[in-house]
Amino acid sequence: MVDGQELISARLGELGLATRREEEIVRELGDHLADHTAALEARGVAPDAALREALDSVSNWPELRQEILSVEAEEANMNYRTKVLWLPALGALTLSSGLLAIFQFLGLVPRFYWLSVTGVPLAVPFYFPWLIALPAIGAVAAFWSQRAGGKAVHRLLAALAPPISMLGTFLIGPFIGLLIYLLIPLFSDGAGHRRIRFPLYAPSMIGVFLMLASWVLLPAVGLLLGAAPFLRKPQAQG
């Protein structure tokens, strides 16, 4: 009996992938072909005729080949981004938050600057021991991405993952606060008096800037200092 995998290889042609990966794809298609052929034989179809019918069930082999190559290219691209960006960025986030937790456990408290915003005191923390340690984290993330083959933009984004995530928190926070404030009327009594009262603060620009400086701008500068040596393109060896 003719080998079904050889027939599949002949119809697909060279895929241009790694030899081992091509063998895996042909083997998987061969297993499906064998199952289809066995089902036809169980219905009384002769083995050779069952094999030909199973092969003919694929109406367009070039189209199947193109679909396989598209899927492989997409998976390769996703794997590349994971190696050069997502994993180093996750590492930077884990190291940053973990180091902050360790400092708090050791009793290293931040330095607070108090402001009066619309009559409400606002404490702006500056965690100097954590800020001093951030260049090392930026270097680790950028080096990790570089070793994985990441471009300069991947190394930069991986190193800046902690302040980028914190900036997202700052951007989302006001919308959540506004949503809560808009939902307050749902908790009013029959006379129109609100059972729950939340003050809607309007922080001063200097308060917002200091919070951004504490958790976004200064950490970004520290991480950039550590990542800078790994952002330059390596010089070709002469």
Tokens 């006001």, located at residue: 174
First to last CA, the chain: 58
pLDDT (tens digit per residue) in 93-134? 999 999 989 988 888 877 776 666 555 566 677 788 899 999
Please report, rounded to a whole number, the percentage of residues in the chain having pLDDT higher than 90: 28
Measured from the Cβ of residue 7, the count of other Cβ atoms closer than 10 Å reads 18
For the chain, state the CA radius of gyration. 30
Tell me how far apart the alpha carbons of residues 92 and 212 are, in angstroms, rounded to a whole number.
Answer: 19
DSSP 119-164: TEEEEEEE-HHHHHHHHHHHHHHHHHHHHTT--HHHHHHHHTHHHH
The SS3 assignment for 108 reads coil
What pLDDT is recorded for position 200?
Answer: 46
More reliable by pLDDT, 160 or 177: 160
Please report, rounded to a whole number, the percentage of residues in the chain having pLDDT higher than 70: 76
> What dihedral angle (degrees, nearest 10) is formed by the CA atoms of 15, 20, 24, 27?
90
Q: Which two tokens stand for residue 129?
A: 């021991």
pLDDT (tens digit per residue) in 48-83? 888 888 888 887 888 888 888 888 888 888 889 999
Confidence of residue 234 (pLDDT cuts 50, 70, 90): low
What pLDDT is recorded for position 118?
Answer: 57
CA 104 vs CA 109, 129, 132, 211, 238: distances in Å: 6, 10, 15, 19, 49
Tokens 């042909």, located at residue: 26
Tokens 């997502």, located at residue: 86
Which neighbouring-strand residues pair with 117?
120
More reliable by pLDDT, 51 or 191: 51
Measured from the Cβ of residue 26, the count of other Cβ atoms closer than 10 Å reads 19
CB 91 within 8 A of CB 181: no
Tell me how far apart the alpha carbons of residues 180 and 160 are, in angstroms, rounded to a whole number.
Answer: 31
Measured from the Cβ of residue 154, the count of other Cβ atoms closer than 10 Å reads 22
